[in-house]
Amino acid sequence: MLPSDVGSLKKLEILQIKETRINFLPPEVGNSAHLICLLVSSSANHFLKIPLGLISRVSSLEHSAIVVPMNNEWWLLIEMLQ
C-alpha cells in the first residue's frame, strides 16, 4: 500500500507506479504541490483505484498516463498534457 503521507512530500515531482501490488492511490496525492508527472500502469492481476477528482486537483500536473491491460493488450486509459 502506498502511504497517505506521500501527498506531503514537498519536492515530489514525478510519481510512477508501475506493475506493483499497490491497489489504491491515496487521495492525499492530490495535495502534492509540485507533482508534474503521474504515470500509472497496473499488472494484469491488480488494478489501481484512483479516487474521483484526484487528477484534476493537482494543479501543477503537466502529464499523466494510466495504462491498463485489456484483452491481452495494453491500453492507454487516460493521458493528459497541458
Tens of pLDDT, residue by residue over 27-78, are: 999 888 899 998 888 766 667 788 888 888 888 988 888 777 666 565 555 5
Which residues, in sequence order, are CB contacts of 19 under 8 Å at separation 6+? 41, 42, 43
pLDDT of 36 reads 93
Cell numbers 498516463 correspond to what residue? 65
**Is the distance from CB of 53 to CB of 61 less than 8 angstroms?**
no
CA 42 – CA 69 distance, rounded (Å) = 7
CA 82 – CA 24 distance, rounded (Å) = 25
pLDDT of 81 reads 43
With cut-offs at 50, 70 and 90, classify the pLDDT of residue 82.
very low
Mean pLDDT, range 9-33, rounded to an integer: 87
pLDDT of 78 reads 55
CA 33 – CA 68 distance, rounded (Å) = 26
